[in-house]
Amino acid sequence: MTVTVGSPAPTLELEAYRRGEAEPVTVALGGERERWVVLFFYPRDFTFICPTELAAFAELEDAFRAEEADVVAASTDSYWSHKAWFETNAMVSGVDYAVVADTTHELSFNYGVLVEDGSALRGTFIVDPHGIIRWACVNDMKVGRNVGIHAPVAASKAARYAWAVCVPLV
């Protein structure tokens, strides 16, 4: 299954890393919830471009929260890989949002971002409080995201910042 704009988000519970938590936390995605979700995928931990994107999302987290949206990151790396990277790399020291460990590749596959080597493309998805995907953008791994550009792309509060997380860098 690959999601499309206007379709229900897959309902999954996944293990995630969250700074300050001693053990993995469970993140429930899809279905009804009180807030929007800005779900973004990145290829791998311990890479050179990914920390800049993760840090940029962290800088915008308060703006998303003010728009009633929760930021959730995901890669196919394990919880332990996330923990090791996020607790030792100064570039991602400001990341407080949940980082999903999609080791089964179910989430990445369902969102259409899984590639043959088991990593994920750079995908950004906005899910409304009813669990419907309202905005999606997927970039090739070699094309970074420019998280600093703010422009409206839809009529929802959360999507106001969507353009910022998906304009390709060329």
Residue written as token pair 């009180």: 34
CATH topology of domain 12-168: Glutaredoxin (3.40.30)
Structure tokens at 141: 């791994």
The pLDDT tens digits for 1-13 are 588 999 999 999 9
Structure tokens at 102: 């999609």
Domain locations in the chain? 12-168
* Gyration radius of the chain over CA positions: 14
How many C-beta atoms lie closer than 10 Å to residue 153's C-beta? 17
Structure tokens at 78: 């394990």
Amino acid identity of residue 8, one-letter, is P
The pLDDT tens digits for 8-64 are 999 999 999 999 999 999 999 988 888 889 899 999 888 877 788 888 888 888 888
Which residue would you say has higher pLDDT here, 32 or 157? Answer: 32
pLDDT at 14 (0 to 100) = 96
pLDDT at 110 (0 to 100) = 96
Residue written as token pair 């704009």: 5
Question: How far is the CA of 141 from the CAs of 44, 61, 72, 97, 145, in angstroms?
Answer: 10, 23, 19, 22, 10
Is the pLDDT at 161 greater than 60, yes or no?
no
CB-neighbour burial class of residue 12 (10 A; exposed 0-12, middle 13-18, buried 19+): middle
Q: Does the pTM of the predicted model rise above 0.75?
A: yes
**Catalytic residue ranges:** 50
The pLDDT tens digits for 107-156 are 999 999 999 999 999 888 989 889 999 888 888 777 766 554 432 333 34
The pLDDT tens digits for 57-105 are 888 888 888 888 899 999 999 999 999 999 999 989 999 999 999 999 9
